[in-house]
Amino acid sequence: MDLDKLMSKHLTRYFDPSRTIPDETLRQLLRFLRSTPTSTNVQPNHFYVIATPEGKKQLADGRFPEPAKQELWESMTRDFLDLRNFAYKDVNHWMEKQTYMAVGLTMIAAAELGVEAMPLEGFDPATVDKAFKIRETGHATTVLLALGYPDPSKQYSNPISRFDTDELFTFV
């Protein structure tokens, strides 16, 4: 894995409709997605894999039926934080989701570097914020990420437990 490439990657907003992800690549991505850890192994996910032309059309239908609407959407993205702050009033929840994306990608990078990473929840955020004077900076603790090397005497030896593929994915 090339970490420099990951660190300089921008999100893609437009995809080439003439290209299809090879089946083996998609299977590998789904195997990876299936193996991602969740807090207390609750596995609260179920993923819809929109892979057929019909499914893609159904998803996209009506989203941007004309260029003016596409331009409007693009201008809204520039004002997204204001929209979250004042219209939706969910900026904290939205920011937490962004933090979890960053934590997830950092966990992947850590694994590539041979470092174990574990997200931590179930703590009192106010206590952590107070101990490190975090609220004074205008921030708040959402999740903690522990990084290090495993204690060989306390490593799990049993197989990873995950739901069966047919319980986790619906193909449309």
What single string gives the DSSP state of each residue in the chain? --HHHHHTPPPP----TT----HHHHHHHHHHHHH---GGG-----EEE--SHHHHHHHHTTTSSSHHHHHHHHHHHHTHHHIIIIII--HHHHHHHHHHHHHHHHHHHHHHTT-EEEEE-SS-HHHHHHHTT-GGGT-----EEEEE---GGG---SPPP---HHHHEEE-
Q: Are strands 144-148 and 116-120 parallel, antiparallel or unpaired?
A: antiparallel
Phi/psi of residue 65, nearest 5 degrees: -70, -15
- The 10s digit of each residue's pLDDT in 93-113 is 888 888 898 888 888 888 888
Query: Would you say residue 42 lies in a domain?
Result: no
**pLDDT for position 170:** 92
With beta carbons less than 8 A apart as the criterion, state whether 124 and 149 touch: no
Is residue 80, in this structure, part of any structural domain at all? Answer: yes
Domain presence at residue 10: no
User: What pLDDT band is residue 12 in, cutting at 50, 70 and 90?
Assistant: low
pLDDT above 70 coverage of the chain, percent: 90
- The CATH number assigned to the domain holding 83 equals 3.40.109.10
**88 in a domain, yes or no?**
yes
Residue 34 falls inside a structural domain:
no
> pLDDT of 33-79, one tens digit each?
888 877 677 777 777 787 888 887 776 685 666 788 878 877 877 78
- Domain region containing 71: 66-152
Given a cut of 70, whether residue 26 has pLDDT beyond it is: yes
pLDDT at 106: 86
* Domain assignment of residue 75, yes or no: yes
Entry pTM: 0.63
Confidence of residue 169 (pLDDT cuts 50, 70, 90): very high
| Interval 19-39 mean pLDDT | 84
For residue 20, pLDDT over 60 is answered with: yes
How far apart, in whole angstroms, are the C-alpha atoms of residue 30 and residue 24?
A: 10
pLDDT digits (tens, 9 = 90+) for 106-142: 888 888 888 888 888 888 889 888 888 899 988 888 8
- Tell me the backbone φ, ψ of residue 170, rounded to 5 degrees: -120, 120
Average pLDDT over residues 18-36: 85
**Structural domain total, the chain:** 1
Report d(CA 68, CA 79) in Å as an integer. 17
